[in-house]
Copies of this chain bind each other. A is one copy, B any other.
Amino acid sequence: MSTRYIVGIDLGGTNIVTGCVREDGGDFRGERSIPTSAEGGPDVVVQRIIACAEESIAALRAEVPGAEVIGVGCGSPGPLDTRTGVVLLTPNLGWVNMPLRDRLQSGLGIRTALDNDANCAVLGEWWMGAARGTRNAIGLTIGTGIGGGIIIDGRLYHGSTDLAGEIGHMTIEANGRKCKCGNYGCVEAYASGPNIALRAVEAIQTGASSTLPSYVAGDLSLITAQKVYQAAQAGDALAHDVVRDTAHFLGAAVASLINIFNPEAVVIVGGVTLAGDRLFEPLRREVSRRAFKPAVQVCRIVPGELTGVAGVYGAVRAFQEQVEAGIV
């Protein structure tokens, strides 16, 4: 059994999550999570990442005698350049041209690779989660926005300038809702967490009857996607409709992805999976109605399995990929 481990780092706007994964993916040690504290600026965040990773490494060493740490992978919001390891721009963190890879590599003294956070989450699910064993897989990460990742022939597909995988910004309604990206009708404008909540709020504001206001003491600005799932679970008809419509919008996007990629799996990662079968059953039906049958038949549409740590697993695998590709 190998005792070689790689540190995975999942850098988010709110939290940093780190852990150590054995090179074969079969052992995970020292999961740690701390707030990102982005308001402190990049130096503070880098120090916090390093401290968090060092705690994970210490936990590993305590639990696995002789464990060797051979690398570090970090998933970060982007866009970023995997070749130079520079984060070009992160609205959430307020960074511009931040050489995150080299800062972490110097701080930790271990060879480090950098990749996109959504890409890493999907790569993690492909490597050790819900899409394990497939050759081609597509993932959507649904949270504040909708990100994505594309696995082609067992490797992350980055596109020509590391910008591929912006699946949330597929147009599903050419004249539809305005999206934060400037486009109209992106699937993100309908099915991201905040937009799921917003569709419920809009329906209530235009007179739909619902128990949702009672979940937030009447303050509609406090309605979240999670509260919509809770209300749907409890039998609220409006909340049920909002979840069903979410399946309809996501279904249009997933059907297009299946027609384009003919993958063996579409994995959906993030809080939206809390809606469970209430979301996935109408989603699968919508996809079956829309996409080519033979392509649907070979593709499973599944929630992610590595809750909270998909990005950590994926960052580890991204390190391995970049070593194999000679990038780091």
A259 within 8 Å of B (CB atoms): yes
Contacts of A164 in B (CB 8 A): 260-262
* A160 in the interface (beta carbon within 8 A): yes
Instruction: Report chain B residues within 8 Å CB of A292.
Output: 163, 166, 169, 181
Query: Which one of A152, A174, A181 has the greatest number of beta carbons of chain B within 10 Å?
Result: A174
Distance of A166 Cα from B53 Cα, bound (Å): 44
CB-CB contacts below 8 Å: A152-168 with B: 152, 157-167
A171 touches B255 (CB 8 A): yes
- Closest B residue to A171 by CB, please name it: B252
Q: Is B166 within 8 A of A260, CB to CB?
A: yes
- Mask, A259-293, CB within 8 Å of B = 1, is 11111100000000000000000000000011110
Q: Given that A174-B248, A292-B181 are contacting pairs, would A262 and B169 also be in contact in the complex, using a CB cutoff of 8 Å?
A: no
User: Are A161 and B255 in contact, CB atoms less than 8 angstroms apart?
Assistant: no
| Cβ-closest chain B residue relative to A286 | B174
13 contacts between A and B (CB under 8 A): A79-B294, A150-B260, A157-B261, A160-B298, A163-B262, A166-B262, A170-B170, A172-B172, A173-B174, A174-B248, A182-B290, A183-B291, A184-B290
Residues on B with beta carbons closer than 8 Å to the beta carbon of A261: 157, 159, 164
Q: Are A294 and B161 within 8 A (Cβ)?
A: yes
Flag whether A256 is at the interface (Cβ < 8 A): yes
Tell me whether A295 is interfacial, beta carbon within 8 Å. yes
Known A-B contacts A159-B262, A163-B262; the reply to A172 vs B171 at CB < 8 A is: yes
List, in ascending order, chain B residues with CB within 8 A of A252's CB.
171, 174, 185
- A290 engages B183 (CB within 8 Å): yes
Interface size class of A (residues with CB under 8 A): 35 or more
Known contacts A171-B172, A256-B170, A136 near B159 by CB under 8 Å: yes
Residues on B with C-beta less than 8 A from A158 are 262
Cβ of A132 < 8 Å from any Cβ of B? no
Ranked 10 nearest A-B pairs via Cβ: A159-B262, A166-B259, A163-B262, A164-B262, A170-B256, A171-B252, A174-B252, A169-B259, A183-B290, A163-B295
A202 to B164, CA, bound (A): 38
Do B260 and A183 touch across chains, with their CB atoms under 8 A apart?
no
Candidates B160, B181, B255; contact of A263 at CB < 8 Å: B160
Q: Is A249 an interface residue (CB 8 A)?
A: yes
Nearest neighbor of A158 in chain B, beta-carbon distance: B262
A298 to B78 alpha-carbon distance, docked (Å):
17
Question: Chain B contacts of A295 at CB under 8 A?
Answer: 159, 161, 163, 166
User: CA of A299 to CA of B159 in the docked complex: distance in angstroms?
Assistant: 11
In the complex, which residues of chain B have a beta carbon less than 8 angstroms from the beta carbon of A263?
A: 159-160
Bound complex: CA of A136 vs CA of B159, how far in Å?
7
